[in-house]
Amino acid sequence: MKAGLVVVTGGGTGGHLYPGLAAAQALLEAGLAVVYVGALGGLEERILPKSGLPYRLIPAGKLSREALQPQEALKLLRGLKAAQQTLRELRPKAVLSMGGYAGFPAAFVAALRGIPLVVHEQNAKLGLANQALARLARRLALATPLALPPSLAAKAQVVGYPVREEAHSAEEARARLGLDPHRPTLLVLGGSQGSQELNRELPERLYPLLSHWQVLHQCGPRWEAEMKARERPHYHIRGYVEAPLAWSAADLAITRCGAGTLAEAAFHQVPVLGVPLPRHLDGGAQWANVGFYAERGAARRLSSWTEFERELEALLEPSTRAQIRAKLKGLSSAGAAQRLAQAVLEVV
Ligand SMILES: CC(=O)N[C@H]1[C@@H](OP(=O)(O)OP(=O)(O)OC[C@H]2O[C@@H](n3ccc(=O)[nH]c3=O)[C@H](O)[C@@H]2O)O[C@H](CO)[C@@H](O)[C@@H]1O
């Protein structure tokens, strides 16, 4: 007999979905039953059917700092209605929201119905949905320490970012990815959707490295066909990669600065040159994320492409990478999923 049912919600992009799946797994291991509630049209639509977890997909509107678009507002209303039906039917003991627009409807309805709500914030800055939900939540679980007003600080706890804790030897990972098992490997990771900026800037800048290195460049599924034309011997383009394999294969990475990407770099101890999204695009979350690591000597942040060659040269130096790896070791959030599951158990 299971100790009770917990709804885990959140998704839209990988940065919210994958830590949600890791948390769901830890809750199952702690003896709870889990149903995952994701958004129609989010990455979860593709990933949840393969996860083995019971799940529901409901509409979810994208929240915005500016005026809410009419079609998003409509989706938000439909999502709240669907969340109400789902929670009435499932009667969970608690709801764990991993944030993002996809998690908002079920989390908000849970709070209204008096179902204990735990909210996890992945970024080094409280997101828009979580700013509203944190006030209603019993617990606020954080990936990194945040400066918070006293009312929120009282229920906050740093648990870390639940990464997929799966590592392989570099040779095995490279072979499974179709790479040369023995070449040093530079990973380019654009995040869930790929990064147009990294796609535009990097191949030509990195070709000169190919005499010794190989590059695995994840460009985003939407750009795969056009980016394939820029492949060269030892420059491999992929729309989407198996992240645990890609990180295991890598000696160095150039990435967007989603919370998930940087937490994975810390887990796998891969030095990163971070190229954050411009501040206005995600409210500055990516600047804050890479700032957390860069201030501790555990990553480098690129502020302008004019600095790229100098930054890359520094990171190609094995001694620089060794220093960064030593700092990353202390920042790995291994065990975060279990700590988050424990926080949920405490409110059940
Ligand atoms: C545009 C935007 O709003 N981005 C946000 C989004 O980023 P986004 O979801 O893109 O980025 P993250 O780095 O947090 O997570 C991406 C996840 O998808 C995985 N992955 C990605 C590509 C791939 O080919 N294979 C793969 O498995 C990564 O390994 C990682 O686990 O959520 C993050 C976490 O809240 C935020 O920090 C970002 O600011």
289 is annotated as contributing to ligand binding: no
- For the chain, give me the number of helices (H) and strands (E)? 15, 13
Whether 195 lines ligand 1, by a CB cut-off of 6 Å, is no
Q: Give distance in angstroms: CA of 261 to centre of ligand 1.
A: 6
For 170-329, the fitting CATH number among 3.30.1520.10, 3.30.2010.10, 3.40.50.920, 3.40.50.2000 is 3.40.50.2000
Please name the helix (run of DSSP H) or strand (run of DSSP E) that holds residue 94, with its range, or none.
strand 94-97
- Gap between the Cα atoms of 80 and 63, Å rounded: 13
Cα–Cα distance measured from residue 141 to residue 94, given in angstroms and rounded to the nearest whole number: 14
* Distance separating alpha carbons of residues 243 and 328, to the nearest angstrom: 18
C-alpha separations of 22 from 46, 105, 339 in Å = 17, 21, 11
Q: Give the pair of three-digit tokens for residue 281.
A: 């695009």
List Cα–Cα distances, 317 to 217, 311, 314, in angstroms: 21, 10, 5
Domain 5-162+335-347 has CATH 3.40.50.20: no
Collect all residues with Cβ–Cβ distance below 8 Å to 165 and sequence separation of at least 6: 22, 267, 334, 337
63 DSSP assignment: P
pLDDT at 101: 86
In terms of DSSP bridges, do strands 117-121 and 94-97 run parallel, antiparallel, or are they unpaired? Answer: parallel
Question: What CA–CA distance (Å, rounded) separates 151 from 159?
Answer: 19
pLDDT for 1? 43
8 Å CB contact between 84 and 59? no
Whether 220 lines ligand 1, by a CB cut-off of 6 Å, is no
The dihedral formed by the CA atoms of 347, 1, 16 and 76, expressed in degrees to the nearest 10 = -80
Q: Is 216 exposed, middle or buried (0-12, 13-18, 19+ CB in 10 A)?
A: buried
What distance lies between CA 97 and its chain's CA centroid? 14
- The ranges of the chain annotated as CATH 3.40.50.2000 are 5-162+335-347, 170-329
Give residue 248 CA to ligand 1 midpoint distance, Å: 17
300-301 and 272-274 strand pairing: parallel
Residue having the nearest C-alpha atom to atom 24 of ligand 1: 240
Residue 122 CA to its chain's centroid (Å): 7
Residue 16 CB less than 6 A away from ligand 1: yes
The complex scores an ipTM of: 0.96
- Please list the helix, strand and coil fractions of the chain in percent, rounded to the nearest 5, in that order: 45, 15, 35
Residue of 261, 289, 293 with the most ligand 1 atoms within 8 Å of its CB, for mutation: 261
* C-alpha radius of gyration, the chain, whole number: 20
In this prediction, residue 62 carries a pLDDT of: 82
Burial 83-113 (b: 16+ CB within 10 A, else e): bbebbeebebbbbbbbbbbbbbbbbbbbbee
DSSP assignment of 195-232: -HHHHHHHHHHHGGGGGT-EEEEE--GGGHHHHHTT-B
What does the pLDDT profile of the chain (348 residues) look like in tens digits?
A: 456 999 999 999 999 999 999 999 999 999 999 999 999 999 999 999 999 999 999 999 887 777 778 888 899 999 999 999 999 999 999 999 998 888 999 999 999 999 999 999 999 999 888 999 999 999 999 999 999 999 999 999 999 999 999 999 999 999 999 999 999 999 999 999 999 999 999 999 999 999 999 999 999 999 999 999 999 999 999 999 999 999 999 999 999 999 999 999 999 999 999 999 998 888 899 999 999 999 999 999 999 999 999 999 999 999 999 999 999 999 999 999 999 999 999 999
The pLDDT assigned to 342 comes to 98
Phi–psi pair at 73, nearest 5 degrees: -65, -40
CA of residue 94 to ligand 1 center, whole Å: 26
For residue 35, the cross-strand partners are 7
What is residue 2's predicted lDDT score, i.e. its pLDDT? 58
In eight-state DSSP terms, residue 53 is: S
196, HSE (Cβ side, Cα atoms, 13 Å): 2
